[in-house]
Chains A and B, each alone.
Chain A
Amino acid sequence: MENRRGGKEKTVIISCKNVTFAYDGFVVASRLNFDVARGDYLCVVGENGAGKSTLIKGLLGLKLPQSGSITFGSGLTLRHIGYLPQQTAAQKDFPASAYEVVLSGRLEMKAGRLFYSREDKNAAVENMRRLGIADLRGKCYRDLSGGQQQRVLLARALCATSEVIILDEPAAGLDPLAASEMYALIARLNNEGITIIMVSHDIAASTRYAKHVLHLANKQLFWGDTAAYKLSNVGFM
């Protein structure tokens, strides 16, 4: 197992120490140790079933680790993590406007609220503008292309956070052009200061922008910066 600490000292906002996840006693990811700093771009790679999705669930607080600890630092709370899940089949033909979908990202910004304020609506419009989809506002979600749908979901994730976004296979099902646009867009958000944690099995494409790589195969094969990853025997292709 290689484990190199990469880069300069930065504020650690998520820290995993000896984290093990298991389903019904069957371990899917064991002894994970890594930190995510503010402004980081961490790419989690590995084969299907390597424990990537489970780790995401763990970071989102949907799955408790069997052992070890996940801690959030410097004011980050679970409620303020944005999430871009994989699309479900039911979603692809969902009759909702892009605006309704984006706005729903604001729902849990404050606890115990049932309706949206003017501020929420402005934030939704602003985030759509930020991703260049302001003109899709009234369009029906099911009529959008795959790339546009992903942008809408990304705008929703931005509505839920100003700090961290966790993305699960953001380019799944997109054609190569839309996929590379999606990666570029994510990199731009990262340059604007948003911490990115992205899961992907497309190693070559996703490590192009990532600052750090975490390679899983039910255990931690590598964690460190991208340049070191490309030189290591884990990342060598």
Chain B
Amino acid sequence: MIISMIDILIQMFSYTFLVRAVVVGLMVSLCAALLGVSLVLKRYSMIGDALSHVGFGTLAIATALGVAPLMVSIPLVVIVAFLLLRISENSKIKGDAAIALISTSSLAIGVLIISFTTGMNTDVCNYLFGSILAMSRSDVILSIVLSCAVIVLFVVFYNKIFAVTFDENFARATGTKAGLYNMLIAILTAMTVVLGMRMMGALLISCLVIFPALTAMRLCKRFLSVTICSALISLICFFVGVVVSYLYATPTGASVVLVNILVFTLFWGIDMVRGRR
């Protein structure tokens, strides 16, 4: 049983594209889980979702122009992240409505551009639901660099991020530059979403942001343990998801989401049983 498991893993990692996908995926999962804790607690979950839709639109633009996708997507999505944060802070249009507005607009623009250029084909499906074949060598390097940046920034500013997440008013009043840290979180989220989007799919990437944090919150009682637990859950779920998708030839993004759902249900069940006692 164990030997056959190892055999499968060895077999899996003899494919270069799978190694690339797993490396990028694990890096992105880790970043998404760390940022997700703050986003979920700040009630910004939908921003991650909106950013992935915007990412889809920018990916379509990049393909149409024939330039490197990440070079177009990352700056554009960062700008939108900046705008979304502004909107949810001083809102004439309410935050959730603005997010839905931006999501659907960029999805529509993306679909239109694709149908004008390459036509509606499997590419669209790959963009929306992810493809494990999408990672090139330069993507791997870029994601490792960006993920390391996310992790270092998160660790360095951990206490500030906690303060701003728990109580923005208090943080501002005592002199923490809350706006700056909100911006930092938004920019890091934008990068993470764009990096993970092509593998997980534009419609599924926000799973990596939201699920691990929510799962960890079922059982953990300290912010530090929520953060660490969320990161571990995210890494494990991604890896198991990829193995499942390899074994049963299922779509990678959807398999990872499925594993996340199962783990969430498990944690939720344990929490319920504990609560009843």
Binding site for B on A (CB under 8 A): 60-62, 78-79, 81-83, 85, 88, 90-91, 94-97, 100-101, 104-105, 107-108, 111, 114-116, 138-140, 143, 153, 156-157, 160, 166
Contacts and interface: CB of A to CB of B under 8 A. Distances in A.
A107 B160 contact: yes
Contacts of A107: 159-160, 163, 171, 174, 176
Interface residues of B, number: 26
Contacts of B173: 60-62, 81, 83, 85, 166
A114 B42 contact: no
B174 A79 contact: yes
B171 to A, nearest CB: 8
Contact of B41 (A94, A115, A160): A94
Given A107-B159, A140-B221, A143-B221, A101 B174 contact: no
Given A95-B220, A100-B224, 14 more contacts: A60-B172, A62-B173, A88-B169, A90-B43, A91-B166, A96-B162, A96-B223, A100-B223, A104-B159, A107-B171, A107-B176, A111-B175, A138-B222, A166-B173
> Which secondary structure dominates chain B's binding surface?
helix
A134 B207 CA distance: 38
Interface of B: 41-43, 156-157, 159-160, 162-163, 166-167, 169-176, 217, 220-224, 226
Nearest to A101: B166
21 contacts: A82-B174, A85-B169, A88-B169, A90-B43, A95-B217, A95-B220, A95-B221, A95-B223, A97-B221, A100-B224, A104-B159, A104-B167, A104-B170, A107-B159, A107-B160, A107-B163, A107-B171, A114-B156, A115-B159, A156-B170, A166-B173
B175 A108 contact: yes
B123 to A, nearest CB: 40
B160 A96 contact: no
A87 to B, nearest CB: 9
B174 to A, nearest CB: 4
B221 A104 contact: no
Nearest to A84: B170
Contacts of B41: 90, 94-95
Nearest to A120: B159
Contact of A104 (B157, B163, B220): B163
A98 B162 CA distance: 13
A100 B174 contact: no
A83 B170 contact: yes
B226 A95 contact: yes
Contacts of A156: 170
Listed residue (A85, A107, A139) with the most chain B CB atoms within 10 angstroms of its CB? A107
B174 A108 contact: yes
Contacts of B42: 90
Nearest to A113: B159
B223 A97 contact: yes
A138 B169 CA distance: 24
A80 B223 CA distance: 26
A30 B222 CA distance: 44
A145 B166 CA distance: 17
A59 B101 CA distance: 38
Contacts of B160: 107, 114
A111 B175 CA distance: 9
A108 B175 CA distance: 6
Nearest to A57: B173
Sorted nearest first, the 3 A-B pairs with minimum C-beta distance are A140-B221, A96-B223, A83-B173
A234 B234 CA distance: 60
Nearest to A80: B174
B273 to A, nearest CB: 17
Nearest to B163: A104
A61 B177 CA distance: 12
B30 to A, nearest CB: 19
